[in-house]
Amino acid sequence: MELLKMTNISKSFFGVTVLDNVTLEVGRGEVHALIGENGAGKSTLMNILAGVHASDSGNIIFNGKELVHNSIKGAESAGIAFVHQELNIFNNLRVYENLFLGKEPVNSFGKLKKKEMISETFKLMHDLGVDIDPLELADNLDTGKKQLLEIAKTLHRDAELFILDEPTTALNNAEIKNLFEIVGRLKAIGKSFIFISHKMPEIFKISDKYTVLRNGKFIKSGNIREISPEAITRYMVGESYSNQEMYEERKLGDTILELKSFSGKGFYDVDFSIRSGEIVGFTGLQGAGSSEVLQTVFGVLEPQGGQLFVHGKEIKNNSIQNAMKNKVAMVAANRKENSILQDMTILENTYISEHTINNRQQHIFKNKEIKKYSDLKDTLNIKANSHNDPITSLSGGNQQKVILARWLNTRADIILFDNPTQGIDVGAKSEIYRLILNLSKAGKTIIINTLEIPEIQKIADRCVVFYHGRISVALKRQEINEETVMLHATNAINATGINTEVENVQSR
């Protein structure tokens, strides 16, 4: 018998139907991949299951009982645990305090059993195979570790069904491997998982079954062994999807940006140059320094040595404003924290940077802005109702396009993309690649920093791999493939003996 059966679930917000008669069945000891583009209704369905929202119609049977008047507390006590995509970590608390928040064990005098909490945290982290000190302040953890802590918080709970919403976005390969091992172990003792991810290889690695949603409707469900990634993608995006080669040979211009033994926070002696119209992919493991290079070129971080040339001119005293004047733009990583002005409208978000470039003229000619915005909206295919809607009303992919519009508005020549497709579905992703290619055809120079090597393979002319703050290798287009890149990113190429371990990671 199934553990979970959600039947004919419908939900609409403000008259817009988000879920239309959706059905989802998950068996015991099963990993069930829930697949769909952003806005397909996955999150809403999971929020209904976890008691965050109430459904308009339909019913949920969990563990043989119907969940009526579902609430967050009710779903939790029924045995449903939800790992949210957004991190709910308290930076000012220690790791073990985060883990036990709200359910701290106390002795009869109400004093916290601190030792017990710490040792249990230590054990859990050991099981997870992650190196996190229970006494570390959460603020000191990098994003990947925070994500693991978030997952650990939930796994720590005694639940029957775990919902993992894009749990691997900030994890490196070894961490993903550990996570999947734990999922496997819990599965063996009969626990079930709903796994939401946009990464096909992961879906096929750990899932038993799948359900595809599109535009709030149930599309297909079945055994993962009986379907191919290409077929799933087709179900996901409908007819519009085509996997054709995007890359085109282009004529490149002169060198436009050059770094000479450039050093800064987290990277050293970087020598690099890029020609006008070129697309270069930067990659490396978390903390390898590639993101920091971009941030330093854009004036966010201070350089600590070497030289930076833009348009042949050496840049000293770099700042964000100076970089913008030199026609450099950066689409920052982590959209929610670093790009989105959540209280402001789509139009205001589109124009905030242009305002800095043209700040002599202080009056805002709103009609002019609206007109130019609607051009950008068409070019970038932004799906939005009114320019006066808050930016938070858009899906992740459309938010990212607004941020791209923000920078195109500054007429920048060099556009740095830091992990631009984080949390974006397949359809929007390939749209963004296409936009990047079109930009380069229009003469823009592009550096794209990403952990996802297939992205680089799709669009880049070259790939620069970072390891421990240094350039490990620069690969030509023909040489780019996941295996070569991983060998250099983990420095396995220079350390015989570790080689086998890396191969193990990859073969899984």
CA torsion sign for 480, 483, 485, 487 is negative
Angle between helices 396-408 and 426-441 (to 10 degrees): 10
Interacting residue with another protein among 70, 283, 296, 339 (CB under 8 A): 339
- Quick one: which segment of 175-183, 319-327, 376-384, 442-450 binds another protein (CB under 8 A)? 319-327
Q: DSSP assignment of 193-238, as one string?
A: EEEE-S-HHHHHHH-SEEEEEETTEEEEEEEGGGS-HHHHHHHHHG
Which is closer to another protein, CB of 212 or CB of 408?
A: 408
Give me the least distance between CB of 449 and another protein, in Å please: 15
Which is closer to another protein, CB of 415 or CB of 485?
A: 415
Q: Are 466 and 447 in contact (CB under 8 A)?
A: no
Which is closer to another protein, CB of 101 or CB of 364?
A: 364
Question: What's phi and psi for 485, nearest 5 deg?
Answer: -60, -45
Distances (CA, A) of 379 to 351, 408, 446, 449: 16, 11, 18, 23
Give me the least distance between CB of 292 and another protein, in Å please: 14
Which is closer to another protein, CB of 168 or CB of 410?
A: 410
Residue (of 61, 71, 63) closest to 7 by Cα position: 61
Residue 7, classified by CB atoms within 10 Å of its CB into exposed (0-12), middle (13-18) or buried (19+), is: middle
Residue 361, classified by CB atoms within 10 Å of its CB into exposed (0-12), middle (13-18) or buried (19+), is: exposed
**Is residue 282 near another protein by the rule CB under 8 A?**
no
Give me the least distance between CB of 134 and another protein, in Å please: 29
Q: Are 257 and 414 in contact (CB under 8 A)?
A: yes
Give me the least distance between CB of 327 and another protein, in Å please: 12
Is residue 68 helix, strand or coil?
coil
- Quick one: which segment of 31-39, 150-158, 223-231, 339-347 binds another protein (CB under 8 A)? 339-347
Interacting residue with another protein among 226, 248, 337, 378 (CB under 8 A): 337
Interacting residue with another protein among 35, 49, 236, 330 (CB under 8 A): 330
Give me the least distance between CB of 323 and another protein, in Å please: 9
Interacting residue with another protein among 149, 297, 340, 394 (CB under 8 A): 340
Which is closer to another protein, CB of 139 or CB of 479?
A: 139
Report which DSSP code applies to 106: B
Element holding 281 (H helix, E strand)? strand 279-284
Which is closer to another protein, CB of 14 or CB of 109?
A: 14
Q: Are 319 and 484 in contact (CB under 8 A)?
A: no
Pairing of strands 328-331, 414-418: parallel
Give me the least distance between CB of 57 and another protein, in Å please: 17
- Quick one: which segment of 87-95, 104-112, 324-332, 375-383 binds another protein (CB under 8 A)? 324-332
Give me the least distance between CB of 359 and another protein, in Å please: 6
Give me the least distance between CB of 366 and another protein, in Å please: 8
Residue 155, classified by CB atoms within 10 Å of its CB into exposed (0-12), middle (13-18) or buried (19+), is: buried
Give me the least distance between CB of 13 and another protein, in Å please: 12
In the block, residue with structure tokens 């950008």: 376
Report which DSSP code applies to 275: E
Residue (of 282, 323, 318) closest to 412 by Cα position: 323
Binders of another protein among residues 20 to 49 (CB under 8 A) are none
Binders of another protein among residues 395 to 434 (CB under 8 A) are 406, 410
Give me the least distance between CB of 121 and another protein, in Å please: 30
Give me the least distance between CB of 96 and another protein, in Å please: 28
Interacting residue with another protein among 332, 380, 475, 487 (CB under 8 A): 332
Here's the x/- map for another protein, 341-380, by CB under 8 A: it reads as xxxx---x--xxx-xxxxx--xxx-x--------------
CA torsion sign for 418, 146, 201, 395 is negative
- Number of residues forming the site for another protein (CB under 8 A): 29
Round to whole Å and give the CA distance between 505 and 465.
19
Give me the least distance between CB of 254 and another protein, in Å please: 26
Question: What's phi and psi for 189, nearest 5 deg?
Answer: -95, 20
- Quick one: which segment of 110-118, 232-240, 317-325, 468-476 binds another protein (CB under 8 A)? 317-325
CB atoms within 10 A of CB 478: 6
Interacting residue with another protein among 24, 81, 324, 492 (CB under 8 A): 324
Interacting residue with another protein among 321, 374, 481, 499 (CB under 8 A): 321
Tell me which residues touch another protein (CB under 8 A). 300, 320-321, 324, 330, 332, 337-344, 348, 351-353, 355-359, 362-364, 366, 406, 410
